[in-house]
Structure 1
Amino acid sequence: MPDRDAALETIQRELTAFARRARHKAAQMHPDLSLVTYSMLDLVKERGGCRAADLAAYFMLDKSTVSRQVTALERLGLLTREADPDDQRGQLLRPSDAGLRVLAEAAEQRRLAFTARFDDWPDEDVARFAGYLARYGAAD
């Protein structure tokens, strides 16, 4: 068990460091976007639009927190609201053209960074690591 405990401690430490680097990188990509607002904008794009309640549920945040983040994205011109065709009382959030550009630029920066980070890894190791990350994420 000591080897497993040490491995779990290393995993926890490395994932914490990964999260800190992700927050730092998000600030570098767009100085006005936090990792949370960037992640929300990315999810809205991925889903082709969604409601603020969907963001709250996905990120396990209260609605007031999501409302502040959505308002910040709107003020930056990165997100728009439109009437929900399935519920006229609700609103769908969609990335604006500027929001799509920010996301595309960030995706390219991430692709380049990951390509460089794994450049000296054998393809099998990269595939194995990807599988492990997918398996870890699937637990949620």
Structure 2
Amino acid sequence: MEPTVRESDIEAVFGQLREISRRSSARSRSIEKTLTFVEDSLLRFIATTDAARATDIAAAFSLNRSTVSRQINTLITLGLVHYQDHHERQEHEAKDAAAKDAAATTESSLEATPTPNSVLSGRGRVLALTESGEVQLATSTRVHQSVVKDRLSGWSDVEIATFAAALTRYNDAD
């Protein structure tokens, strides 16, 4: 039976997404200090998730905790990630609280209140990027964003907005 136009279009979308992923992986290998797709993904998650723990990563990526543990150990060995100690986490939370207070322009205590995911709650060790990890992630992001910017250079603002909205809708389906 011949596939429908919709089925063919869905296969074309899948093929294009696979090609984007393949090219991104190849581009990552061209960076001086290469980040694999997995390393980049984990660093980005840790950087953008408050009080990220290995169990949070396992849940978000639907991975076994032992798999995540091995990946985290690799990132630690590469000097890209470390576990925050109690004092460092308190300082981080105090800075977050101060920033929120300043943004809200209200007067309140600069003392941090621990979040439920905090290391202070005893629910696992919180991960953080090292300075090297931050540099590596920023470099990776710059390289990939530069390619996207170049590829979209001939597109109109409306086309880019439509494409961004379609990708957002696609990714929000989960």
TM over 0.5: yes
Please identify the structure whose Cα radius of gyration is greater.
Answer: 2
Distance (Å, rounded) in 1 between the aligned partners of 2:13 and 2:158:
21
Contact 2:28 2:34 in 1 (8 A): no
Contact 2:84 2:126 in 1 (8 A): yes
Report the AA paired with residue 73 of structure 1.
L
- Larger relative contact order (Cα-Cα within 8 Å, sequence gap ≥ 6): 2
Is 1:85 aligned with 2:120? yes
Distance (Å, rounded) in 2 between the aligned partners of 1:4 and 1:45:
38
Partner of 2:163 in structure 1?
129
Partner of 1:95 in structure 2?
129
Pick closer, same or farther for the CA change 1:132–1:30 going to 2, 3 Å.
farther
Report the AA paired with residue 17 of structure 1.
E
The correspondence for 1:14, drawn from 10, 13, 16, is 16
Is 1:55 aligned with 2:89? no
Deviation (angstroms), 1:30: 5.6
Instruction: Report the aligned-residue RMSD.
Output: 1.7
Q: Give ranges in structure 2 of 5+ residues lacking alignment.
A: 86-118
Distance (Å, rounded) in 1 between the aligned partners of 2:133 and 2:73:
14
Contact 1:49 1:93 in 2 (8 A): yes
Pick closer, same or farther for the CA change 1:4–1:19 going to 2, 3 Å.
same
1:58-73 alignment, distance < 5 Å: 58-73=60-75
Distance (Å, rounded) in 2 between the aligned partners of 1:74 and 1:133:
33
More strand by share: 1
Deviation above 4 Å: which 4+ runs of structure 1? Answer: none
Q: Secondary structure at the match of 1:50?
A: coil
Deviation (angstroms), 1:49: 3.7
Partner of 1:109 in structure 2?
143
Distance (Å, rounded) in 2 between the aligned partners of 1:107 and 1:117:
15
Contact 1:52 1:66 in 2 (8 A): yes
Deviation (angstroms), 1:114: 1.2
- Paired residue total: 139
1:33-88 Cα shifts (integer Å, max 9, x gaps): 3201210011100114410000011111111111111011001100010241221x
Distance (Å, rounded) in 2 between the aligned partners of 1:101 and 1:132:
31
Q: Give ranges in structure 1 of 5+ residues lacking alignment.
A: none
TM-score (norm. length: structure 1): 0.91
Q: Secondary structure at the match of 2:59?
A: helix
Report the AA paired with residue 22 of structure 1.
S
